[in-house]
């Protein structure tokens, strides 16, 4: 492995899925699969032992589900990024995983290239979301009430427009990354968009934020 290798922990209760993922991931010279977990409890234990850069986390596993495991891993090791790789789950499961600190979501029918790109994004601290998942999250959080951005949401969106990622914003505002992500989801819902670029573009067009000179 090279010094720039991304260290991965694969978590899934199906041996065939783990084997398939291991084979796919090993095709990339910058990926190193350091361990595999078959349940949530084992995922937490192996995260403690190996301190991976990115955890590929299934949501439905025995002994401890992926949402709970995500929360435990992020509470102990905030620098470890958890990327959910799952089949079609309920919106509540996905939202709960975001609240627990998951950085992104992919569905298991994604292409290999999308998976590789998402892992690299997660390792850099950016949030990859499958388009269908992003839409469902926005729909979940969109309500019929007041859609104006709060002062905090405007502040966060202004920092996004300035080029900051979630980790930078959390450090700047002295809040957690999961709180930043929750705010971003509310921003997406209120602006009727599904990604950061569209949120910034829409907010600039509406005069909600402005580019700093």
Question: Residue 202 and residue 66: Cα distance in Å, rounded?
Answer: 34
Q: 134 or 54: whose pLDDT is higher?
A: 54
Mean pLDDT score, 24-30: 95
Phi, psi of 31 (to 5 degrees): -110, 140
For residue range 50-72, what is the model confidence (pLDDT) as tens digits? 999 999 999 889 999 999 999 99
Q: Do domains 6-139 and 144-206 have the same CATH topology?
A: no
**Cα 134 off chain centre by:** 11
The answer to whether 138 and 185 have CB atoms below 8 angstroms apart is yes
The answer to whether 170 and 176 have CB atoms below 8 angstroms apart is yes
Angle at 95 between CA 192 and CA 148, to 5 degrees: 35
Check residue 11 and give its pLDDT. 97
For residue range 71-114, what is the model confidence (pLDDT) as tens digits? 999 999 999 999 999 885 565 677 778 878 898 888 888 899 99
Check residue 144 and give its pLDDT. 41
- What topology is assigned to 144-206 in CATH? Arc Repressor Mutant, subunit A (1.10.10)
Check residue 157 and give its pLDDT. 93
Domain layout of the chain by residue ranges: 6-139, 144-206
Mean pLDDT score, 183-190: 89
Check residue 211 and give its pLDDT. 76
DSSP 193: -
CATH number among 3.40.47.10, 3.40.50.740, 3.30.380.10, 3.40.50.2300, domain 6-139: 3.40.50.2300
| Cα distances (Å, whole numbers) of residue 113 to 24, 143, 191 | 10, 35, 30
Question: Residue 170 and residue 189: Cα distance in Å, rounded?
Answer: 20
Burial of residue 209 (CB within 10 Å: 0-12, 13-18, 19+) is buried
Residue 1 has pLDDT above 50, yes or no: no
Average pLDDT of the chain to the nearest whole number: 86
């Amino acid at each position: 492995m090279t010094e720039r290798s991304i260290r991965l922990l694969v978590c899934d209760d199906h041996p065939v899925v783990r084997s398939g993922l291991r084979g796919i991931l090993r095709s990339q010279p910058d990926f190193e699969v350091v361990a595999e977990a078959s349940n949530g409890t084992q995922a937490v234990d192996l995260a403690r032992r190996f301190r991976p850069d990115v955890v590929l986390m299934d949501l439905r596993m025995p002994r401890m589900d992926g949402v709970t495991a995500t929360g435990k891993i992020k509470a102990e090791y905030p620098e470890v990024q958890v990327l959910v790789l799952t089949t079609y789950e309920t919106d509540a499961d996905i939202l709960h995983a975001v609240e627990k600190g998951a950085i992104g979501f992919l569905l298991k029918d994604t292409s290999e290239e999308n998976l590789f790109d998402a892992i690299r994004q997660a390792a850099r601290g950016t949030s990859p979301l499958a388009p269908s998942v992003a839409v469902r999250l926005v729909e979940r959080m969109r309500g019929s009430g007041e859609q104006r951005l709060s002062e905090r949401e405007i502040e966060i969106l202004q920092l996004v427009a300035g080029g900051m990622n979630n980790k930078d914003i959390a450090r700047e505002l002295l809040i957690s990354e999961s709180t930043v992500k929750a705010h971003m989801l509310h921003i997406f819902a209120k602006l009727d968009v599904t990604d950061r670029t569209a949120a910034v573009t829409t907010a600039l067009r509406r005069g909600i934020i402005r580019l700093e000179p």
